[in-house]
């Protein structure tokens, strides 16, 4: 009899707990989902997204974290995001990239209680969504300047490669013009040799495109291609040419081939904003912030063998340009997007 009662008690308890998990949330519990639009590995911007959210959640009592990799098929993202909102399990969905605000706005229309924070994106005025955009003109400028300094010192033709995964507004309207401005600040003769891969993972295609650009005479290429960018590095190693890097330190990928890395403080940004939102700062929803070199969210990372191996003159000129940029010269003022 005792055994049966015990068994019944366990069944009842399990049923109750199950009901709780399905229908109700424990009071005070804050569940966060990180929606990665792609895969984490090989994309520093997503590695930092996860790191920042993880730290914020670890510092807020009762907060939990789940990481969802949505994969590279962009046509599936809306359905996956909708399914996530439909669970009503997560107070906050955190993501990163400029395509996300439109998708989140569509989900928010059907699930008005759902809240979103999206880094590396811009959407103002939606009461369910907070976004923060990097002034990517600056990241493009600082790395373009270095690519041109290196090429010019070597006496190569005034052309630098840019291999992108795909065309998108931030690339076309901020990164690419900023990169060109950096090149032409060194010498107005510089031009970009531009190619597109078609996705964020095909390193073999990126390697092929890089080969064609290097063979046409360019000394340096910038990949904006997530994990596919490693194909560009592989070709540079084969041909003894150079790469400049975006979004974080890439020096370790190939010492003396990666000559400079621009960096985003995306881990710090995501940490700060997620923490603020979890602590109840609801005023952020509806707001679209823009951050820049002035608040140290966009940086240049000089701490790599490839950068230290450059001539003292190139490094001095690069450091002067970085100081000028921080002081507003040139001024890439951006108030909306
Ligand atoms: N950047 C990455 O590093 N990895 C990615 O998988 C990736 N996927 C993206 C998908 C879309 C649809 C868009 C618009 C951008 C993507 N980005 C990705 C680019 C990212 O938002 C940012 O512009 C660059 O990382 C430069 O900072």
148/221 same-domain check: yes
Quick one: which atom of ligand 1 is closest to the CA of 134? Answer: 27
Residues 40 and 171 in one domain: no
Decide whether any atom of ligand 1 lies within 6 Å of the 224 Cβ. yes
This prediction's pTM: 0.92
C-alpha to C-alpha distance for 285 and 264, rounded to whole angstroms: 23
Q: Are residues 70 and 172 in the same domain?
A: no
Atom nearest to 229 CA in ligand 1:
3
Does ligand 1 come within 6 angstroms of the Cβ of 74? yes
State residue 128's pLDDT score: 98
Residue 263 CA to ligand 1 centre (angstroms): 14
Domain match, 273 and 150 both: no
* Domain membership flag for residue 42: yes
**Cα 71 to averaged position of ligand 1 atoms, centre (Å):** 12
Dihedral through CA 71, CA 167, CA 104, CA 127, nearest 10? 150
Claim to verify: residue 54 and residue 114 sit in the same structural domain: yes
| Residue to mutate, 72, 118, 200, ligand 1, most ligand atoms under 8 Å from C-beta | 200
Report how far ligand 1's centroid is from the alpha carbon of 11 (Å): 48
Please report the pLDDT score of residue 26 as a whole number.
63
Question: Do 124 and 192 fall within a single domain?
Answer: no
- Ligand 1 contact via 99 beta carbon (within 6 Å): yes
pLDDT for the residue numbered 27: 58
Does 86 reside within a domain? Answer: yes
Domain membership flag for residue 20: no
> Is 316 a member of any domain?
yes
The number of domains in the chain is 2
Q: Tell me the CA–centroid distance for residue 191 and ligand 1, in Å.
A: 23
Q: What is the pLDDT of residue 28?
A: 62
- Say if CB 141 and CB 181 are below 8 A apart: yes
Is residue 93 assigned to a domain? yes
d(CA 123, CA 105): 9
What DSSP string runs through 117-147?
A: EEES----S-TTEEEEEE-HHHHHHHHHHHH
Q: How far is the CA of 97 from the centre of ligand 1 (A)?
A: 6
Give the CATH number, domain containing residue 90.
Answer: 3.40.50.2300
- Is 160 part of any domain? yes
Tokens of 66: 């789940």
Cα–Cα separations (whole angstroms), residue 24 to 63, 93, 219, 308: 16, 18, 59, 56
Q: Is residue 255 part of a domain?
A: no
Based on the fold, state whether residues 168 and 180 are members of the same structural domain. Answer: yes
Residue 114 Cα distances to 25, 68, 202, 242, 337, angstroms: 14, 17, 34, 45, 24
Could you report the average pLDDT of every consecutive run of 10 residues in the chain (337 residues)?
A: 41 40 62 98 96 97 96 98 97 98 98 98 98 98 98 98 98 98 98 98 98 97 97 98 97 96 98 97 97 97 98 98 97 94
Both 105 and 186 in one domain: the answer is no
Domain region containing 320 = 136-247+295-327
Q: Which of 165, 199, 292 to mutate to test the pocket of ligand 1 (most atoms within 8 A of CB)?
A: 165
| Same-domain status, 35 and 177 | no
pLDDT at position 23: 47
CB-ligand 1 contact for 120 (6 Å cutoff): yes
Based on the fold, state whether residues 157 and 218 are members of the same structural domain: yes
Q: Is residue 52 part of a domain?
A: yes
Shared domain check, 287 and 302: no
Name the 3-class secondary structure at 115: strand
Closest atom of ligand 1 relative to the 98 alpha carbon: 14
Examine the domain organization and report whether 274 and 125 are in the same domain.
Answer: yes
**Residue 58 contacts by C-beta under 8 Å, 6 or more apart in sequence?**
none
């Amino acid at each position: 009899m005792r055994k049966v009662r015990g068994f019944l008690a366990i069944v009842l308890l399990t049923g109750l707990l199950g009901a709780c998990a399905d229908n109700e949330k424990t009071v005070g519990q804050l569940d966060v989902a990180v929606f990665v639009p792609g895969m984490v590995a090989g994309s520093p911007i997503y590695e930092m997204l996860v790191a920042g959210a993880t730290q914020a959640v670890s510092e807020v009592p009762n907060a939990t974290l789940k990481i969802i990799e949505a994969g590279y098929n962009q046509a599936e993202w809306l359905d996956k995001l909708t399914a996530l909102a439909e669970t009503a399990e997560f107070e906050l969905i955190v993501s990163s990239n400029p395509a996300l605000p439109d998708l989140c706005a569509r989900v928010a229309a059907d699930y008005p209680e759902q809240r979103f924070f999206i880094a590396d994106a811009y959407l103002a005025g939606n009461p369910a969504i907070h976004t923060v955009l990097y002034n990517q003109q600056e990241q493009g400028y600082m790395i373009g300047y270095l690519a041109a300094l290196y090429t010019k010192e070597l006496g190569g033709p005034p052309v630098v490669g840019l291999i992108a995964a795909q065309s998108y507004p931030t690339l076309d309207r901020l990164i690419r013009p900023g990169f060109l401005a950096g090149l032409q600040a060194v010498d107005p003769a510089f031009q970009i040799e531009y190619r597109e891969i078609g996705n964020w993972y095909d390193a073999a295609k990126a390697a092929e495109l890089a080969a064609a650009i290097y063979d046409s005479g360019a000394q340096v290429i910038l990949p904006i291609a997530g994990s596919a960018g490693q194909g560009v590095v592989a070709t540079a190693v084969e041909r003894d040419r150079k790469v400049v890097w975006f979004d974080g330190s890439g020096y370790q990928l190939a010492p003396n081939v990666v000559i400079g890395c621009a960096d985003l403080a995306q881990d710090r940004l995501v940490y700060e904003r997620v923490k603020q939102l979890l602590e109840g700062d609801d005023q952020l929803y509806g707001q679209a912030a823009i951050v820049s070199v002035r608040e140290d969210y966009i940086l240049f990372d000089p701490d790599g063998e490839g950068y230290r191996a450059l001539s003292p003159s190139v490094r001095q000129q690069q450091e002067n340009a970085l100081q000028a940029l921080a002081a507003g010269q040139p001024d890439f003022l951006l108030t909306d997007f």
